Amino acid sequence: MNRFLSAASAAVLAFGLAGGALAGVTEEDLLNDANTPGDILTNGMGRDLQRYSPLETLNKDNVKNLVPAWAFSLGGEKQRGQETQPLVHDGIMYVTGSYSRLYAIDMTNGKEIWQYDARLPEGILPCCDVINRGGAIYGDNIYFGTLDARIVALDLKTGDVKWNKKIANYKEGYSYTAAPLIVNGLVITGNSGGEFGIVGEVQARDAETGEMVWTRPVIEGHMGTLNGEDSTMTGTLNATWPGDMWKTGGGATWLGGSYDADTNTLVFGTGNPAPWNSHLRNAGTPVEGNTGDNLYAASRLGIDPATGEIKWHFQTTPREGWDFDGVNEVVAFTDKDGNKRFATADRNGFFYVLNREDGAFVNATPFVSDITWAKGIDETGRPIYVEEARPGNPLEAEKGEMVFSVPSFLGGKNWMPMAHSQKTGLFYVPSNEWGMDIWNEPISYKKGAAYLGAGFTIKPIFESHIGSLKAIQPETGEIKWDFQNEAPLWGGVMTTAGGLVFFGTPEGEFIALDDETGEKLWSFQTGSGIVGQPVTFEMDGEQYVTIVSGWGGAVPLWGGEVAKKVNYLNQGGTVWTFKLPKQLAMAN
């Protein structure tokens, strides 16, 4: 690994820029992260992932006065997609970049303090670009993952490596791109690699030493561990999987998780079962009593943070056959009637509300147009399948019957995080309107090789737009407004008490909307497509907003006909930070 420290950082090493020694971040600090606008310690601006800021200095009347404060280049030839969310602590901003890099930046002027570059081996197998979605801060360390499936702890002040641990074997197709989650002194990680027949798993390590505390595989039949010993099996062997297919069953936990402090529950989504070809995973007639649901793929899991035991599960797409996954973030919120709920917008095109105590189904409504694979969701939360819309069984043929499916496998909503406003009660969901031709093919497992058993071509379903930022009422599923964009939306959303919704587009525009009407109030051209996650914070009495610009991610790699529509977009890598100057804060 390489770590660079600037000469200008000497003062920062001795004292925090906020004035005084750098203090260790505690569990209480993480618990209060959403309510402390001077710092951002967690992915989601709070472990409930609401991405809501209580700051209201910047509002609908004065957002027009938002101006650039500084810009920082991620530099070099290592551009590609920049999907990160910055963190902020003691006057320093921490930003991860493509190819597993991490930067510490002086927030007062945008100058680099230190840089860490992971020394990646040859032969890494990332599915969907060489991105990284951010880090986590705890104690005196910052933690982030690398493309060769490792988790690294660095000293906040110097960038020196405290420890570096292996999550899984990258040669088998594993990687890691999500921001870690820290709860009660444990660093909790998932894994990536669902296209390679890996097995999804959640791991918890001691934050100080990096030593493993527990592991929880998410596919039935695999054994969990606790303190170095076998604990319990996940599910019941062959209850929902035929034969030995559970051994390479997929379910990658590639987006990371959230934490609900009210119920002391980790919530992780799990990815597609492997292979994509659902007929192989339900071969012939399953053993008696086998449902063929392929648990716990395409699900949300409630997990005990102390032991790794599964408390509950909710499967959004049983016997999933379209690569819809089930990893999309689960956001804890309280509805307008005071009920404690979870919300998740699935790649399958439905917006779900669950009970926070036990993950029980409350309701589900479609949030994208023209869904083909299901007629709806029944009263138990299971989809009402349109079986003729399932890709055909190839049997002995070269490929099975092709179907046109909506949404595409890139989802009604993919990884890009939504936001929830405590002010309006609405969710702001970055979605895409597209479909795909999809067909199944014969496939057999080979370690480290793609394990799909399917082919596809993505197509737009409307001429006017693909991207669609929707404001959704969670109690009813009603779409209050819809901001449409020609290219797909692939970045995160943030909302504020000032009545604003921030997000970026692949065309490079960073935008603020009115949270009640969707009216565009402000925008700035960043020079490259935005697939990052905005944040806002307060420093010296002024409100700042930051977004990382840099086009890439899955769309240009996997997007088929859609990719051709956006292949003119320039790559880049710039941290843009804006502020509302004090003298303009009261200007209307």
The model's pLDDT over 368-398, given as tens digits with 9 standing for 90+, comes to 999 999 999 999 999 999 999 999 998 777 8
Lowest mean pLDDT among 5-9, 74-78, 404-408, 540-544: 5-9
Kindly report the average pLDDT of the chain as a whole number. Answer: 92
Q: What's the pTM?
A: 0.94
pLDDT computed for residue 588 by the predictor:
54
Rounded Cα distance, 241 and 248, in Å: 11
Into how many domains does the chain fold? 1
Domain residues for the domain of 395 are: 2-584
pLDDT computed for residue 289 by the predictor:
60
Answer yes or no: is pLDDT of 286 > 70.
no
| Known binding-site residue numbers for pyrroloquinoline quinone | 83, 133, 177, 414-415
Residue 289 identity = G
Answer yes or no: is pLDDT of 16 > 50.
no
Distances (CA, A) of 38 to 53, 87, 535: 11, 11, 11
| Known binding-site residue numbers | 83, 133, 177, 195, 272, 323, 414-415
pLDDT computed for residue 560 by the predictor:
80
The CATH number that applies at residue 218 is 2.140.10.10
pLDDT computed for residue 283 by the predictor:
58
Kind of pairing, strands 494-496 and 52-53?
Answer: parallel
Query: Averaged over 144-162, what is the pLDDT?
Result: 97
CA torsion sign, 528 to 530 to 531 to 535? positive
The two tokens of residue 253 are 């936990």
Which residues have a catalytic role annotated? 323
For the segment 531-571, what is each residue's pLDDT rounded down to a tens digit? Answer: 999 999 999 999 999 999 999 988 888 888 888 778 888 88
The confidence band for 1, taking pLDDT boundaries of 50, 70 and 90, is: very low
pLDDT computed for residue 12 by the predictor:
39
Query: Averaged over 435-440, what is the pLDDT?
Result: 96
Distances (CA, A) of 35 to 32, 46, 54, 108, 246: 5, 8, 7, 22, 43
For the segment 17-69, what is each residue's pLDDT rounded down to a tens digit? Answer: 333 333 599 999 999 999 999 999 999 999 999 999 999 999 999 999 999 99
- First and final C-alpha spacing in the chain: 50
User: Using an 8 Å Cβ cutoff, are 191 and 206 in contact?
Assistant: no
